[in-house]
Amino acid sequence: MNIVKSSILLIILFVSTLATSFAQIENQPNILIIMTDQQAWDAVGYSGNKKIITPNLDKLASEGVNFSHAITACPVCVPSRTSILTGRLTETTTIRENRDAKTGECYYPTFDEILVKRGYRSEYAGKFHAPEHMARVYMNPSVEGMVGTEPIMRWESLYVQYVKNTLKKRPLKQGELYETTFYGGTVPYKLDPTDRYYKYMDSGEIPEKELEKRLSQADIHGVLDLPAEYTITAVQGRQTIDALERLKDEQFILTSSFHCPHVPITPSEPYASMYKADDMVTSLSIADRRENSPYNPGKEIHPYNDKEKVKYMVANYFAFVTEIDDWVGKILGKLDELNLTKNTLVVFVSDHGEMLGSHGMRGKFNFYEESVRVPFIIRYPGKIKPEQTISTPVSILNIFPTVLDYAGLKNIATDGYSLKGVMEGTESPKYDFAVSEWQWKNASVPSIMIRTDTWKLMTTHRSGGKNIEALFDLKNDPYEMNNLLGSNPERFKYKATAEDLRSKLVDYLNDVNYSLVEGVEKRVLIRE
């Protein structure tokens, strides 16, 4: 009888525990993370940009919290995405370069891995671009007979195959050129003045030797001759909506990762015609000669200091963003249709920014605002007060602990901190600064940056080149044109400010057990 009673008691206890566990899961939100690639912080209407059309992102920002000074952990795709997934700094993850997506290993768990163990179902739509082994957690359905991580890791080649299977090859027209680096040499695009082949347009002559070369994505700008329903943005948007339909009855965490507005900057119609180059403006810093800059031009490969040419690039870039915005609207509309909006935490973020001619540069790979500052929104209806703007600098490292915090998991080790209390008004930001780094080729001397609301300190490492430290007064020099260190004759006047920022940085790096903190401590900030 005692055995029977004990068995019954154990069953009751098990059922009770199970019920409690299910209740806990039910009380936690679904999580939808929408990510773009290489979107500048001000390439959204809600930032004050009057030239760009982003009604859906503007609405999302009004319904949640806009972190107006969000800083990427690293201004490079793969390291940044790895840091978002793990909440760890680049040097800590050891994922330092884009090629580490294929060869690198990160030994820290992602928020997906943690939440799957808690009962969530996890899927990924679009561009992954992080270490391959980290994709094993996703429960995506098979694609063309492929299972496991392959559909996620092969997003680019699968898209190329989709285009090849969908569209018939046709001869090129005057003013068109095959784009060979992304669309597999099957889809032409119309050249614009930022393209290095533009000079051949009038004659209609493209040298064969040039055509034989593999184009750099950085050289490609123009209008893609591809119907809107076949663009990579459209395909990735539909993948996300299909995933929501599959997951509607599950507790889920879904990441929707758009390839654009990353280069090649080749929008399709109708988006391309929404923006005219003549209506665009360029940054005041386009005239910066970078004579006292950590990024001194030297032998610049791609100088983007021609205002008229850059305007064409900006117009096409904005077209990309507007297309993404349309799909964000459709994705959020699907949440509404499925009655999932109220219980879904939505995060919108980009992995890093884009220079768009600022300082005569394009791309990323640096610590200027245009490269490290990104759009960042969080919405959770009924839990987070809408129409908030938080201007304190925050790192996108904070996505990891914030997502886990809302899923009921606190005190998970991270180099960031949860923003839950900050958004709900119960806490202040843990730090009044944000940090970004890029440990290129295992340098022992860190390339690292700390940004407060008014100051930015950069310490960079140039392999075989001259190291130049930089201090910018962001209040009086928002375009970062006047480096107060380096060769500035008055640099010693700013010693106290530079050392104070370094002290903040070192304290933080010690707190997170950063391996190269000694290099930061010993760096000479002001040279004789």
- Peptide bond between residue 55 and the one before it cis (omega within 30 degrees of 0): no
Q: Distance between CA atoms of 433 and 453, rounded to whole angstroms?
A: 7
Residue 268: inside a domain, yes or no? yes
User: What pLDDT band is residue 18 in, cutting at 50, 70 and 90?
Assistant: very low
Pairing of strands 252-257, 30-36: parallel
pLDDT above 60 (res 12)? no
**Domain identity same for 247 and 359:** yes
CA atoms within 13 A on the CB side of 292: 16
Provide the pLDDT for residue 14: 35
**Domain identity same for 148 and 210:** no
Mean pLDDT of 170-178: 53
**Domain identity same for 315 and 199:** no
User: What pLDDT band is residue 442 in, cutting at 50, 70 and 90?
Assistant: low
* Between 516 and 148, residue with greater pLDDT: 516
Residue 288: inside a domain, yes or no? yes
**Domain identity same for 131 and 191:** no
Provide the pLDDT for residue 226: 81
Q: How do residues 74-125 score in pLDDT, each as one tens digit?
A: 999 999 999 999 999 999 998 888 788 788 889 999 999 999 999 999 999 9
Report how many domains make up the chain. Answer: 2
Mean of per-residue pLDDT scores for the chain: 85
**Domain identity same for 354 and 216:** no
Contacts of 285 (CB under 8 A, 6+ apart): 358, 359, 479, 480, 481
Residue 26: inside a domain, yes or no? yes
Provide the pLDDT for residue 214: 47
Provide the pLDDT for residue 3: 40
Residue 528: inside a domain, yes or no? no
Are 127 and 80 spatial neighbours (Cβ–Cβ below 8 Å)?
Answer: no
Residue 1: inside a domain, yes or no? no
User: What pLDDT band is residue 177 in, cutting at 50, 70 and 90?
Assistant: low
**Domain identity same for 257 and 133:** yes
Range name among 41-50, 56-65, 297-306 with the lowest pLDDT average: 297-306
User: What is the domain extent for residue 50?
Assistant: 11-163+228-522
**Domain identity same for 341 and 408:** yes
Mean pLDDT of 472-492: 97
Angle (CA) 338-348-130 rounded to 5° is 105
Provide the pLDDT for residue 338: 98
pLDDT above 70 (res 326)? yes
Provide the pLDDT for residue 463: 54
**Domain identity same for 77 and 176:** no
- Peptide bond between residue 264 and the one before it cis (omega within 30 degrees of 0): yes
Provide the pLDDT for residue 460: 81
**Domain identity same for 455 and 500:** yes
Out of 187, 203, 224, a domain closes at 224
Q: Distance between CA atoms of 381 and 118, rounded to whole angstroms?
A: 23
Provide the pLDDT for residue 211: 47
Above pLDDT 90, what percent of the chain? 61
Residue 354: inside a domain, yes or no? yes
pLDDT above 60 (res 464)? no
Mean pLDDT of 240-269: 94
Q: How do residues 39-49 score in pLDDT, each as one tens digit?
A: 999 999 999 99
Out of 208, 224, 240, a domain closes at 224
**Domain identity same for 357 and 474:** yes
**Domain identity same for 244 and 341:** yes
Q: Distance between CA atoms of 416 and 413, rounded to whole angstroms?
A: 9
Residue 277: inside a domain, yes or no? yes
Above pLDDT 70, what percent of the chain? 80
Q: How do residues 351-362 score in pLDDT, each as one tens digit?
A: 999 999 999 988
Provide the pLDDT for residue 149: 67
**Domain identity same for 43 and 152:** yes
CATH at residue 18: 3.40.720.10
Provide the pLDDT for residue 210: 56
pLDDT above 80 (res 153)? no
- Peptide bond between residue 261 and the one before it cis (omega within 30 degrees of 0): yes
Residue 284: inside a domain, yes or no? yes
Out of 207, 224, 241, a domain closes at 224
